[in-house]
Structure 1
């Protein structure tokens, strides 16, 4: 398999060092490569998914990936792609987040593989013990100020202000590349397009400090993931889409991909799945012929949800989706109800000895009894998939899901979750 060509065909290569040399190196023998992930939160989000999957693609092709958790650089803050200074988090928080990110990365990379097991490293292991005088003398002298100022990650921040702390990030990332080369023979760094300046700085540092005059190092970046509608990739009305199922449920995760715009879905299939280009081209033809069937979107949602959360979570997400949009709410368990309706208005009701009209008012479905009666008479109120148009209905007559839930819908899209008792 020509891995470089496959990455090209998928649109996954934005910048790279000399193509001929890199291709030749990849084809000759397995290469060690790394990508860094700074712990800026207690979970990675889907903006990190692309570089994670790049490492996975290299491992599947026989190469040796290194996932570098930035326990040290996470204490500094990368200015790349940021308009203002990052908030500096306490060391104990960064350490906690680093451990969680290590666990997340282990879901994607195989650390037990016989021939080319992946490696997880934490740059705090070497950055945390640096002596400032020695570091400036031995490493800092290899960074001409002019070339640092010319790097895009620094240049774009100069007018808005950048501290020396963030300005020094490039040196630390370059040092990481050098240390990984010493420890693991790492020859290639991959990252987002905003990391190109840091990657090339690391290559130059290794060239300047190496005893091997002809030593060749490599760099490769991926494009910035954009959406055709102008909305930032990975953002929803509820905020970022996280890889942690406790922060973004598998159902919401599935829905994010299912709702992909027709203009983006083929690109995302190339970026985020391991389907062959031929299979993706076939889905592109299906999209052109029968866009209303959304086969490409359903395939994308299934593939990525299964990859990130597993088959069991995918099955649950699909079950909830089918129940919400195809009927069948009565088949949902309590956990599935809470997962599927976690972002709709909800109310807890203790008293079941009330009329359905009073319930609608108490739960905030309508603002008044008059509006409740009008909505019921007009057939606009549904309870657990069934239209309710009887003004005399009492709450005790309504069948609850799992013995404690009512899902009320007003109109076509306004859902409300009502929970009874404990």
Structure 2
């Protein structure tokens, strides 16, 4: 049987470990607690946060207990790790609201009811009780200034500037590791590669303060695409886990549109699909790439995991409606979401001529071209072909009484509203 560490290495998840042999022995000989955290800098996580938490979930599948930390305390400070500029400080009320929103997302990722049920913690619960004197005497005296300055995350900010507030962040995270070790017997901290300095700081502080020698750290590589570009963002910004920020359709399409060069890598990192199936899909990518089986499996798996069966069903419904041109099967909100990146225009509602509407909305470049487009069957109104050059636009051509979706050719959509 494949060991947990072997599975992680097959999937390309492991970047750095403090002691590989010790971690492997620990995982194979006992059931341990381990943790990963995220600061609530927004009311949702995005897919850039996913791999560390999915990795924590893999540990749970092997019988270990995940401790999921949401940084209600550290979120008040801001992690400077490899950020070019200082974060904008959020109010306590904003941070608290973000914590509550992210809790719901964690409940989709982890099992909180099994024998090795996940534990959800907020570091505000213990950090808020530390006084300034205690912070300096009990913790600060154990952290050498030269040691902190040697950390890459801090060095990268010395030229551009770093406040004392952000400078002390690594101590707060170190306190977290020590607290969780004492209270929950947490033995391993997991994080992205940018967290290596914070993780090792925690281990050093625990050793100095408590003599702790039974804890380790593991980091995950920065996720990049085959072309070397950073993964996880589109032209419109982050791909969020919250359906209000990134709809299930948009989320699904992001994964469905991954390139052949990237899709197997992402199946390994972002899904729990077994190795045998991944290898079969790899062959499919090489021998029958036009079928896009791997992309479909990736999109199905991760969309259902984050948005549930209903979210996946909605995403597929919108996808099929756009592919077939059956726009009227969707409601107004679904259409707006699916076509939010399509061109839009506002025209005079008093001018009901279809030809004039096409020209004024820049669907067709001229009246002559508009008439040719209509006659040639290239114009669709809300998914239905229109070949009557004398057609007058009516309320029946408006979706929800608000807008009309024009399509010229196979894929050129324009959303037209009226003034």
Q: TM-score, normalised by structure 1?
A: 0.92
The 5-angstrom pairing of residues 29-68 of structure 1 reads 29-68=30-69
Following the alignment from structure 1 to structure 2, what is the Cα–Cα distance between the partners of residues 134 and 41?
30
1:86 aligned partner: 87
Q: Deviations over 1:345-364 (max 9, x none)?
A: 34578958822123334545
Report the Cα offset of residue 61 of structure 1.
1.2
Match of 1:385 among 359, 383, 386: 383
CA distance in 2, matches of 1:41, 1:152: 25
Measure the CA separation in 1 of the matches of 2:35 and 2:42: 21
Secondary structure in 2 matching 1:415? strand
* Aligned pairs (5 A) from 1:180-199: 180-199=180-199
Residue 314 (structure 1) aligned to one of 296, 312, 315: 312
Q: Give distance in 2, aligned partners of 1:282 and 1:352.
A: 58
Please say which of residues 64-73 and 334-343 is displaced more in the overlay: 334-343
The Cα shift of 1:371 comes to 5.1
| CA–CA separation in structure 2 for the residues paired with 1:27 and 1:271 | 22
* Residue of structure 2 in register with 1:172 after alignment: 172
**Which residue does the alignment assign to 1:355?**
353
Structure 1 residues 81 and 108: alpha-carbon distance in aligned structure 2, compared to 1, 3 A threshold: same
Residue 138 (structure 2) aligns with:
138
* 1:352–1:395 contact (8 Å) kept in structure 2: no
| Cα 1:352–1:56 shift into 2, 3 Å | farther
**Alignment check: 8 A CA contact 2:328 2:382 kept:** yes
State how far apart, in whole Å, the 1-side matches of 2:241 and 2:201 are: 30
Which region of structure 1 is more displaced relative to structure 2, 64-73 or 345-354? 345-354
CA RMSD of aligned residues (A): 2.3
Pairing 1:260–2:230 present: no
Other-structure match for 2:270: 272
Deviation at 1:221, TM superposition (A): 0.5
Equivalent-residue separation in structure 2 for 1:293 and 1:371 (angstroms): 36
Partner of 1:24: 25
Distance in 2 of aligned mates of 1:136 and 1:4: 38
Mind listing any 5+ residue stretches in structure 2 that lack a counterpart? none
Aligned pairs (5 A) from 1:190-209: 190-209=190-209
Q: CA deviation at 1:410?
A: 2.2
8 Å Cα contact 2:44-2:242 kept in structure 1: yes
Partner Cα distance (1:262, 1:384) in 2? 33
Distance 1:92 1:364 in 2: 46
Query: Which residue number in structure 2 is paired with residue 223 of structure 1?
Result: 221
Q: Deviations over 1:57-100 (max 9, x none)?
A: 11111111111111111111111121121111222111111111
Tell me if structure 2 keeps the 8 A contact 1:284–1:296. Answer: yes
Kept in 1: contact 2:300–2:312 (CA 8 A):
yes
Whole-Å separation in 2 of the counterparts to 1:397 and 1:40: 45
SS at match of 2:109: coil
Matching of residues 141-156 of structure 1 within 5 Å: 141-156=141-156
Provide the C-alpha distance between the structure 2 equivalents of 1:392 and 1:400, rounded to a whole number of angstroms. Answer: 18
Q: Counterparts of 2:380 and 2:215 in 1: how far apart (Å)?
A: 63
Q: Is the 8 A contact 1:352 1:396 kept in 2?
A: no
Partner of 2:237: 239
Which stretch shifts more, 355-364 or 281-290? 355-364
Deviates more, 1:159-168 or 1:363-372: 363-372
Residues 35 and 67 in structure 1, CA contact (< 8 A), matched pair in contact too:
yes
- 1:364-383 to 2 correspondences below 5 Å: 364-366=362-364, 369=367, 372-377=370-375, 379-383=377-381
Aligned equivalents of 1:62, 1:70: Cα separation in 2 = 25
Query: Could you tell me how far 1:384 is from its partner in structure 2?
Result: 3.3
Shift of 1:30: 1.2
Q: Is the 8 A contact 2:395 2:401 kept in 1?
A: no
How far apart are the structure 1 equivalents of 2:303 and 2:265?
17
The change in CA–CA distance for 1:412 and 1:148 in structure 2 (over 3 A counts) is same
Structure 2 residue corresponding to 1:303, chosen from 284, 301, 304: 301
Does the CA contact (< 8 Å) of 2:82 and 2:157 recur in 1?
no
